[in-house]
Amino acid sequence: RTVYVNGDYLPETEAKVSIFDRGFLMADGVYEVTSVLDGKLIDFDGHAVRLQRSLDELDMASPITKDDLLEVHRKLVRLNGIEEGMIYLQITRGAPDDRDFAFPDPETTPQTIVLFTQNKPGLADNPAAKKGMKVISIDDIRWGRRDIKTVQLLYPSMGKMMAKKAGADDAWMVQDGFVTEGTSNNAYIVKGNKIITREKSNDILHGITRAAVLRFAREAQMEVEERNFTIEEARAADEAFITSASTFVMPVVEIDGVPLGDGTPGRVAPRLREIYLDESR
């Protein structure tokens, strides 16, 4: 695999980042995951805009322009022959001479930028979408700025492990009684024909897939309500689903061991998945 590190395209075994990198020492970095279908990037613009916002919120400079970033994405897709998969991008505050809590001067410490591809043939036809997934609920004890896409992913990783241990696929996090989001996806329930998902705030990541799916749903005359919902309301819903750049739209068929409806994907989530895949490729 060819990867991109600080301006160079290299074999992955030759790519290097300093042990003083603040991404490594302090999780002082942001990231994006962009999907690729039919060799084309899905929603690059949305990801580039969110990346810039994450950088701005953390007072971090960007080592690359948006146009150059697009070129790097395209070149990696081409060099690695990606038809279906993802591109991972990470920018950190770089590697100062020593470990220090204060931010280094961006003039003397350039940011680190890394991109690599992940080949996932069959991503669009993922059989998991036919079966649906199981989630458990866990406390949301993450920090208060989940709208910034930082690489602090320890708690979401722990949540994923709690889910696996419980025989489920993922965890939905709950704060003050209300669902925030999944470990790496946005969460939705369906009641009647109404799609319900938490409103945007600092409590959740503003998903690029979320924005597209809600737009397509409204265009298809489906009713969308952006509001908080509880796990109890979710357990009594007709359907539930998640969205993310790596799963698109994925039905949820069980919450905390309780099947939703008859425990199979309903009508709305599979339809939204189909619309999303049709419209965005």
Q: Candidates 186, 191, 217, 268: give the one binding ligand PDD (CB under 6 A).
A: 186
Answer yes or no whether residue 112 interacts with ligand PDD by CB under 6 A.
Answer: no
What are the backbone dihedrals phi and psi of residue 192, each rounded to the nearest 5 degrees, phi first? Answer: 65, -125
Contacting residues for 183 by C-beta, under 8 A, at least 6 apart: 156, 157, 159, 160, 163, 170, 171, 173
Within residues 77-106, the interface with ligand PDD by CB under 6 A covers none
Answer yes or no whether residue 260 interacts with ligand PDD by CB under 6 A.
Answer: no
* SS3 state of residue 162: helix
Check if the beta carbon of residue 44 is closer than 8 Å to that of residue 151: no
Q: Which is nearer to ligand PDD, 42 or 113 (CB)?
A: 42
Q: Which is nearer to ligand PDD, 84 or 181 (CB)?
A: 181
CA neighbor of 138 nearest in space, from 156, 151, 150: 156
- Site stretch for ligand PDD (CB under 6 A), options 66-74, 112-120, 218-226, 237-245: 237-245
Q: Which is nearer to ligand PDD, 33 or 41 (CB)?
A: 33
Check if the beta carbon of residue 24 is closer than 8 Å to that of residue 16: no
Could you tell me the smallest distance in angstroms from the CB atom of residue 205 to ligand PDD?
4
Q: How far apart are CA 214 and CA 222, in angstroms?
A: 9
E strand or H helix at 53: helix 44-57
Active site residue 149: yes
Classify residue 253 by burial, with Cβ atoms within 10 Å: 0-12, 13-18, 19+: buried
Contacting residues for 13 by C-beta, under 8 A, at least 6 apart: none
Answer yes or no whether residue 245 interacts with ligand PDD by CB under 6 A.
Answer: yes
Q: Which residue's entry shows tokens 């590190």? A: 5
Q: How far apart are CA 101 and CA 120, in angstroms?
A: 38
- Site stretch for ligand PDD (CB under 6 A), options 3-11, 215-223, 240-248, 254-262: 240-248
Could you tell me the smallest distance in angstroms from the CB atom of residue 91 to ligand PDD?
15
E strand or H helix at 48: helix 44-57
Candidates 149, 164, 194, 200; catalytic one: 149
Answer yes or no whether residue 170 interacts with ligand PDD by CB under 6 A.
Answer: no
Q: Which is nearer to ligand PDD, 96 or 207 (CB)?
A: 207
Within residues 190-209, the interface with ligand PDD by CB under 6 A covers 205, 207-209
Find the radius of gyration of the CA atoms of the chain.
Answer: 19
Q: Candidates 116, 216, 243, 265: give the one binding ligand PDD (CB under 6 A).
A: 243
Could you tell me the smallest distance in angstroms from the CB atom of residue 142 to ligand PDD?
8
Could you tell me the smallest distance in angstroms from the CB atom of residue 245 to ligand PDD?
3
Could you tell me the smallest distance in angstroms from the CB atom of residue 210 to ligand PDD?
6
Could you tell me the smallest distance in angstroms from the CB atom of residue 256 to ligand PDD?
20
Active site residues: 149
